[in-house]
Structure 1
Amino acid sequence: MLRNLLFWVVSGTAVGLLASTSALAQVAVDTKPPVLLAQITSAPPSRSDSSISLPPPRISDYWMSISLQPGGVLVFDGYAPDAATRDRFAEVSGADVNWLKLGSGAPAQYQQATELGLTLLSKLSEGRFALRANVVTISGIAATPADYDAVQSVLAAGAPAGVVLAMAEIRPPVGAEANVAAYGWSAVKQAGGQVEIGGMVPSAAVQQDLAGRVSTALTDKSQINAAAPEGFAAQAERAVAILDLLSEGQVAFDGTMWSVTGKGQEADSIAAIATILGTGASAWNVNVTPAPVVAVAPSEPVEPVTPPAETPATPQQSTPVATESEAPAAPAVVEQTPAPAAVSPPASSASNIALCRDEVNALSAQNAILFQSGAAVLAPGAAPVLDSFATSLNLCPDAVIHIEGHTDSDGDDQRNLVLSVSRAEAVVNALIQRGVSPDRLYAIGYGESQPVASNDTQDGKRRNRRIVVSVLEEHE
């Protein structure tokens, strides 16, 4: 009888439903009306012969991971949207899906994201892929130098539409470091601005990224060699940024040390180079001649000439008195200018906020906060400039700070918007780690909507990919 059916429900999720064909047959001849035992609101059950299958429970925090262990075993964990998907994963060579549970509520990008993960893991000797909502991370060690290059090419192509690649840390294969001593790279800038890059780079993605950072005419003769030393890409990014500060010269890596030689475009070129190198300056030999300082003299004589003309009093006494009263005035003004930096005036001081804003604007203009291509992962070379931002922002601890992310126009505009917000958030987190109060930091993403240059050229795209830090008055 239907009244003898056992139907257990826990938190709205069907746990067990027991019925036999004979019991259901008895219902047909029962004169009593049917009894409603429970109502399933998630989805109607599907019937197959005498069994009833129910949809999997809905998961609010949807995630899955694939761990590639030494020996080729792929351990799937987390959730799959249905049995067919889990069975498809089970067909992958070396797959272990025993930990993979069924759950509804998978993100729309689940299939594309997991396909990307399996593609990347197929090139690794060990590693881990993870998906939470639409955010993806991947890490591991490439199986061979060719596989390492293939992974970099996949990453350079970007994640599928709607998928955010938050982290991609793939290392060259173990043993590839044997070729590090022979690894060399250089970029030479002629007096006319032409740049030629030669030597080796670890991947096509790095090759394209460095080429995109060169702001003048470029000839690229570099070749792909996956066996780059650790941190090569970040140092090469610094090198190209430094080359932009030279009127002519060379940046190079000889397998052991980095070097820069040449002529600076500005008088403060050496200081600007030191800012880019930051704490990594010990790995560099710097031999740069700054541009000569051009003295501006007209303003000095004009100031003292004017006061005597304005005080026509007694001829011989007014002139010395005026000179004495004005002589201390000039030094007093000069001495007050450096005082705020040395004495650290209160944060509410307008002059202090102005100083903070000037320093932050100068740092933003360098466009030195760099990310891995197509991802919201800060490049190692961004650390020094982030340190400088944190130091400058401490000059105005009560001011509100906007961290604005911008992209070029390559790819889907909605994905670019998501990427710009994610990159701004990554900078906010980095500044918090450096002691900046989170209460004053706001991440804003503009995507490709506010270009500062044409996206038709590599240089224009490089300038459009940027993080802008803005200092506002408190409660502005």
Structure 2
Amino acid sequence: MRNWKFWIWPGVATVACLTFLALWLRLDPIEADLRYRATAALAVDHGWAGVLVNGRDLTLQGLAPDPENQADAIETVRQTYGVRVVTDATGLLPVQSPYFLSLEKTENGLLLSGFAPNDAARRQLVALLSENLPGIALLDQLKLARGAPDDFVALAAFGSAPFSRFSTGLMEMNGNALRIYGQALNPEDHEAALALLAASPPGDGLLESVEITPVQVMGEYTWSVTSSSAQVMLSGYVPDQVARLALVEAAKAAHPDLDVIDGMRFAAGVPEGVDWLRAASEAISLSARLTRGTASLSGGQLDMSGEIADGDAFRALQARLDEGLVEGLTLGTVDIGLARVSPYIWSGALSSNALVLDGVVPSKAIADRLLESAALKFGRLKIDDRQRVAAGAPGGFETAALAALQALSRLDEASVVLRDGALSVRGEALSGNAAADLQRQLEADLPEAFAAQQSVALKPLPSEDLSGPSCQNVLNQLLAANTIRFDTGQAGIQHHSFGFLDRIAFAARQCRDVRLEISGHTDADGDEGANQTLSERRAEAVVAYMVAAGVGPDRVVAIGYGESRPVADNETDTGKAANRRIEIRVVN
């Protein structure tokens, strides 16, 4: 028996040791498996949490970003298969108020400091900055804390978006309020940064302030305003937002009917000694005088080019420039031409009270010649001159306009309109002969490139005849308003007087039972006998014209008085002109 006990105890001890070793070796893989599965489950939404494993019991550790996340992490571990007991050893991140985030860009790189709500947000910010600002060293000094505003990462991304446009910059996020400062790399990046910040910040974010320092211009500080028929473009450099807004408003006021396009860029470097805002505002005011063109500032010099409506506008612009510019600004090149007008329209309108000449003409000289021709045709009738000079006239314009004036003189209550190469004639002819002459005259005088369209009716005679005294009164009024013109030293009637004689003949036709004496008179220059003959021939020419216009030949008689009946002194040019005349007198 003693031998049996001696042998059994060593065996029992060996079995016990082997059993303990087997149990220990079996327990280690179980703990490793639980740790792996619990950590994997937490990694999805709770990267802040860690676990300690003791057998099948787990202790949860770490600082949760908020109570909800903390409770969810505990529940996640409890739901892990094989876990028996979960001990909560977690805490909460400290609350930070105010919640602050800073991103600073210097020549040495990026410094990210302040607070982030969790590691995931932290990693997102770092990844975002590395993507948007590649190759720039990033020092991450963020701490974790609770109290972050909603949309924390999106708000930080919004505030950091313009940093690729800055040489140096600073973003400060205090709660949900952003303050952004930066030095623009160039004028284009300045605009791009402003465009990025023009949108509304995410969520409840507030863009509290933006201060972007313009880059210094290398070279001339240039700016311009360019106008066309549709819009006004402002381009070049402006020193600040105040000046920019002021110039946009000035352009809208100067060009109220046009769209104003702001293509300006911020830049430093305004030339010394120039009130730059006043200079640019004056350039806008001057540009409004052009139909299209550009007024530009380069350093302290103003240049202008483009087109202007007419000669009057050009002279007004010259007068304004002669008055001088704002202090420190000098006038450079001025290259202004007359605007090409399309369609090119000129017109004449005749009434009993006035002749109105309106529309565009190629030059002041042509306008003056048209006025001179009108005065010869219409005598003392009031002429309202509304003509203005503009480029774009078709070839042969002056010839066509003179032909139109001649046609107008042959009509009553009439109008003529030249529109590019088309002439429109409307009115009443005072006789059939006048209507036929008008047709022939237009065919002969209009340039080949022009076409005429007529709407001419024959003016009817009034139903009541004029008595002798009434007839004389009407004829006297007509003769006082104009003069029958003849070729110098000849009896040929000038075409300027055809319309005037049409009116005399029309009045004479109303005096049905009245005989008229048509008398010719000359001044005292030259041979008396020659003057007598000339006066007779001129009277006969008028009678012939009146007969052709419908006056009965038995009702008119021609007589010449030569120089025998002067009405003024023959020693002066004015007196001689008064003595050279045709008189019409009722003789029965």
For normalisation by structure 2, the TM-score amounts to 0.31
- Structure number with greater Rg is 2
Higher strand share: 2
Relative contact order higher in (CA < 8 Å, ≥ 6 apart): 1
